[in-house]
Amino acid sequence: MSKTLLAAALFALIGLGACKKEDDNPDIPGNYLDKGAITFQNTSADLYDIYLDDARYGDLYGGKSATYPNITAGIHRVKAVQTEHISGSPLVRQENIWVIKDSVAVFAFP
C-alpha cells in the first residue's frame, strides 16, 4: 500500500512539474509584446544614416523610404544623419516617435 501511495505521489509531482503557467504559453492571446512598424522617409536628395534607439539601422538614399516591422509598441528614439553633400556640419534630425500596436509610425526627414 505504501509503495502504491508513494508511486501515486511521485507521479502527481512529475505531472505538476510538467505543467506550464499561462504566461509561458505563446498560444494564449496577449502573451506576445504588442508590435507596430516605423517607416523612415527621406524627403531630401541626400544619403542619410538612420538610427532606432541609438542602433544604426542602415542608410537611406534621397527620395526613398524604408519600413521596419515588428517594433515593440511604445516610445522610440529615431535619428537621421546626413552622410553626403555636407557643407559645414551634417544635418541631424532626431525625435521620439510613438509606435502603436498594428500601426505604422512615420519619421520623415530632414
Would you write out the chain's pLDDT as a tens digit for each of its 110 residues? 555 545 555 555 555 555 544 445 555 555 568 999 999 999 999 999 999 999 999 999 999 999 999 999 999 999 999 999 999 999 999 999 999 999 999 999 99
Domain assignment present for residue 104? The answer is: yes
Would you give the DSSP letter of residue 100?
-
**CATH number, residue 83:** 2.60.40
Task: Give the chain's domain count.
Answer: 1
Exposed/middle/buried for 80, CB within 10 Å: 0-12, 13-18, 19+? buried
Contact 39, 66 (CB under 8 A): yes
Domain encompassing residue 52: 33-109
Domain assignment present for residue 8? The answer is: no
